[in-house]
Amino acid sequence: MTKHSKEILLAAFEGDDFEIIGLDSNVDSQNNMICFGFDDLYAFIGTIEGLEIFITDVAEFYARKLHGQKKPCIVYAWVDEMAGNLRFSAVKQEGLNKLPFECEIEPTTSAQDFASEVWAIVMLSRSDSIDQIDSTYDGQEFKLSVFLQTLD
C-alpha cells in the first residue's frame, strides 16, 4: 500500500465532521460511520500488511477528526459481509457496552489479528464458489470480530 492509496480512500471523508454527542451510542455510531468496499480494499490496499497499516491509519484519522471532542472515545471496526464493507465508527468509551450489534462480539485490540481476519473475508468474497462462502460458518457459533482502539 502506498501513502497515495490511503489518501484516495480517506479523501472522501476528509470534509466530513465527526462529533461525539454521547447521549446515545447508536446515534454517535451512525453519525460517525465510514465504509470501505471490499473491492476498493483489494485494489488500493493489496496485502494483509497494508490492511493492518490502513486500519491504524483510519484510527489516527478519527483521532485527528475528533480532536477536542469529549474523551475518551473508542474507534471500532467490523466487517459487514452482506454489504461487502469494512466499516469504522466512533463512540464515547461509555458507549462501548452498547455497540449496535445484535450478535455477540469478539473484541480485539490487535490491528494485525483483525487485518488477517478481514483480509481472509475480502479474499473469500472474490471467490467464485458460493459454497465455500456459505460453509465458512457451518457449525460455528457466530461472533462478530470487532477491532477497538481508545482515543485519549
> How confident is the model over 96-117, as pLDDT tens digits?
677 778 778 888 999 999 999 9
Give the model's pLDDT for residue 50: 92
Task: Specify the pTM.
Answer: 0.83
Task: Note down the domain range covering 21.
Answer: 3-151
Q: How many domains in the chain?
A: 1
Termini Cα distance of the chain: 27
Cell numbers describing residue 115: 487485518
CA 31 – CA 19 distance, rounded (Å): 8
Residue 146 near residue 107 (C-beta atoms within 8 A): yes
> How confident is the model over 22-31, as pLDDT tens digits?
666 777 778 8
Cα 9 to Cα 2, 4, 13, 34, 96, distances in angstroms:
11, 9, 8, 10, 26
**Is residue 131 over pLDDT 60?**
no
